[in-house]
Structure 1
Amino acid sequence: MTQTVLLALDTSTEFCSVALLSAAVGVGAAGHGRAEPRAWVRHEQTGAVSSTRLLPAIRELFDEAGLTLADCNAIAFGSGPGSFTGLRTATGAVQGLAFGLGLPVVPVSTLLVCAESARRRDPSATRVLAALDARMDEIYWADYAWDGVGGEWRTVQSASLDTPERLVLPDEPFTLAGNAAAAFGARLPALAAARTVDQEALPHALPLAYAALRAFHAGRTVPADQAAPEYIRNKVAQTTAERIAEKAAKAGQAAALAHHAESREGRQ
């Protein structure tokens, strides 16, 4: 009997979410068999201060489980998309812990976590369109299909950033997962087209941990120094120089229009 211990972190939203899985793998006469992992979870709404709660929550889970960080085989994190500050918080924590312990890291898309959450809540959710409110009148979205034979998600459309109206619908019955439906309502064509809508399927460390455990066993890991956020949106605000340039351009356009109007009046 061997044991895999995996720690999963997500701070991509206003929640500080931490999960610890302990999965036993037994070898019997019939070969290898895996029992359902034991799980310990902290999922707390912390707003912008997830960084102050993250490490204490990790310590609490290991104490509750009777394990230590030295027992860990891998560390997973929600790599994004999501809050820029939150993604950096999780990435920094994972890099520090994994580097210090010499552990591999499992990055997991927060959109795939939404799909995993939807399927764990409803096993018939084998085609999932995950869509999250990205603010600025846009959505993060991705399309996933569950491979029942291989026991893993297949990415039909990787994480993208679009306006709600431009989201591409799957070509078969699907579950719409995430909070975009609540944020945009009828502006989201997928809301009316979906077989079912699961607005509770959101980034959370527990479904993240289950998806990461499969990835770990499949060897889909990266070294600690290669763990990085997946922002999708590379730009959320103008620089000071860009704002000044835009203001100057608008002033120039206004001056040109005024000059054009004066010229017309002079000719009349």
Structure 2
Amino acid sequence: MNTATLKLLALDTSTEACSVALQTGTEILTLDEVCPQQHSKRILPMVQQLLSQTGISLNQLDGIVFGRGPGSFTGVRIGVGVTQGLAFGADVPVYGVSTLAAMAQAAQRLYAAKQVIAGIDARMAEVYIGSFILQNGLMQPLSSEVAIKPQDISGFDLSGEVHAVGTGWQTYAEVLLQKQPAVIADDILYPSAQDMLTLALPAFAAGQFIAAELAEPVYVRDDVTWQKLPGK
């Protein structure tokens, strides 16, 4: 993979924030904006702003990365729909990245974190939550991502320093800290598209981007139990 000529766009609308990032070679430009219920109005102008800033057109992109969820049902659907529309028009492949993994990657970028528990306030007294561990510079899932009531989590079984990110830790800090002592990163509340680019690069190099029509959201609301992944 020749990163010097690589052009990737990433976007996320799965939470209260809109995030767009554009990678051209080794440079990444990012726009993050908290805009509850304004995603459908803001996301395309934000994309256009970065494209105009770099002088790149959609059909010059090598691919589009999107936040696949979990998050707001409406927000996740908007992100997938916008990605498909842009990708169809430009005839480029796409790749979905976990919003929880993106926040975990942000903790690695900002704090050199090696173990992270990411949680998004899922409303209805639940959190979307998952744990991650650093492997070769990238945050990899240690547990399955679930929607669960914080008090129903059996425990994370992590030792050593653990960082905690996302709105779930703001809303349910007291309960979650009883389950797992952690350093809460108050400045990482929402996923940022720049971290989705980082996580998507190996998939692009491996040819794992897919056709736009195959892009799917991940809601996880149907998953109700905390499960560690096999071999983790």
Instruction: Work out whether the TM-score is over 0.5.
Output: yes
Aligned to 1:209: 197
Aligned to 2:207: 219
Matches within 5 A, 1:112-191: 112-123=101-112, 125-148=113-136, 151-167=137-153, 168-173=155-160, 174-189=162-177
Unpaired runs of 5+ residues, structure 2, are 224-232
- Are 1:75 and 1:103, in contact at CA under 8 Å, matched by a contact in 2? yes
1:93 corresponds to which letter in structure 2?
V
Instruction: Provide the secondary structure at the position in 2 that maps to 1:98.
Output: helix
- Are 2:59 and 2:91, in contact at CA under 8 Å, matched by a contact in 1? no
Cα distance in structure 1, aligned partners of 2:196 and 2:104: 10
Cα distance in structure 1, aligned partners of 2:21 and 2:114: 24
Greater helix percent: which structure? 1
Count of matched residue positions in the alignment of Structure 1 and Structure 2 = 218
Query: TM-score if structure 1 supplies the norm length?
Result: 0.76
Aligned-residue offset at 1:189: 3.3
Aligned-residue offset at 1:153: 2.9
**Structure 1 pair 40–222 and aligned structure 2 pair: CA distance change class (3 A):** same
**Structure 1 pair 62–190 and aligned structure 2 pair: CA distance change class (3 A):** farther
**Structure 1 pair 175–69 and aligned structure 2 pair: CA distance change class (3 A):** same
1:200 corresponds to which letter in structure 2?
D
Cα distance in structure 2, aligned partners of 1:190 and 1:17: 32
**Aligned counterpart in structure 2 of residue 82 of structure 1, from 55, 71, 74:** 71
Aligned to 1:193: 181
Instruction: Provide the secondary structure at the position in 2 that maps to 1:193.
Output: coil
- Are 1:76 and 1:106, in contact at CA under 8 Å, matched by a contact in 2? yes
Aligned-residue offset at 1:116: 0.6
Query: TM-score if structure 2 supplies the norm length?
Result: 0.87
Unpaired runs of 5+ residues, structure 1, are 24-36, 236-268
> Which stretches of structure 1, 4 residues or longer, exceed 4 Å deviation after superposition?
none
- Are 2:156 and 2:180, in contact at CA under 8 Å, matched by a contact in 1? no
Percent identity between the aligned chains? Answer: 35
Aligned to 1:230: 218
Aligned-residue CA RMSD in angstroms?
A: 1.9
Aligned-residue offset at 1:136: 0.6
- Are 1:7 and 1:18, in contact at CA under 8 Å, matched by a contact in 2? yes
Aligned to 2:226: none
Aligned-residue offset at 1:190: 5.4
**Structure 1 pair 70–132 and aligned structure 2 pair: CA distance change class (3 A):** same
Cα distance in structure 2, aligned partners of 1:207 and 1:191: 27
Cα distance in structure 1, aligned partners of 2:16 and 2:71: 10
Cα distance in structure 2, aligned partners of 1:47 and 1:180: 16
Aligned-residue offset at 1:140: 0.6
**Structure 1 pair 44–171 and aligned structure 2 pair: CA distance change class (3 A):** closer
Aligned-residue offset at 1:219: 2.7
